[in-house]
Amino acid sequence: MTIIFTFICSFCASYFFNVIYDAPKKLFIPAGFAGAMGYMVYFVLTESFHMDSIYTSLLGSLTLGLLSHIMSRIFKAPVVIFMIPGIIPLVPGSIAFRATQQLVTLQFTDATNTFIRAILVAGAIALGLLISDQLSKTLNIRKLWAIKRNRL
């Protein structure tokens, strides 16, 4: 039941962020699905396998990036329409808030550790999207080479 509720909430977050960005209406549901699947990878790996949130953020954003590239080819739309709203459930906002709260209450050691964790999670998200982008470009180049070889 928790997994279904988490899927619905992450889908709604991605869906309504697409509404805010005024994307084409036919892409609301696919973009929401891509964001929900990225967050579900994060959630399942965190809750079931007890992996660290830095690694699960990397794998969740990698999943999101690959799904975004696949859906952009299927729906003939820019990748950004699927990727940006899909990142929203993965962003470490609560960690950054907790770090700021610790800083205000003069818990400097805890605040430093929490800020570093937030930066590492954000970096893992960026790295996952970068890897997925490079993977999709690599697969496209190999497909192009195969086409060119057949023409010769």
Dihedrals φ, ψ of 92, to 5°? -80, 60
- Is the confidence at residue 151, as pLDDT, over 70? no
Handedness of CA 51, 55, 56, 59 (dihedral sign): negative
What mean pLDDT value characterizes the chain?
A: 92
The pLDDT of residue 141 is 65
- Say if pTM beats, i.e. exceeds, 0.75: yes
> 39-91, pLDDT tens digit by residue?
999 999 999 999 999 999 999 999 999 999 999 999 999 999 999 999 999 99
Torsion, CA 97, CA 29, CA 73, CA 7, rounded to 10: 50
CB-based contact 54:43 (threshold 8 Å): no
> 118-136, pLDDT tens digit by residue?
999 999 999 999 999 999 9
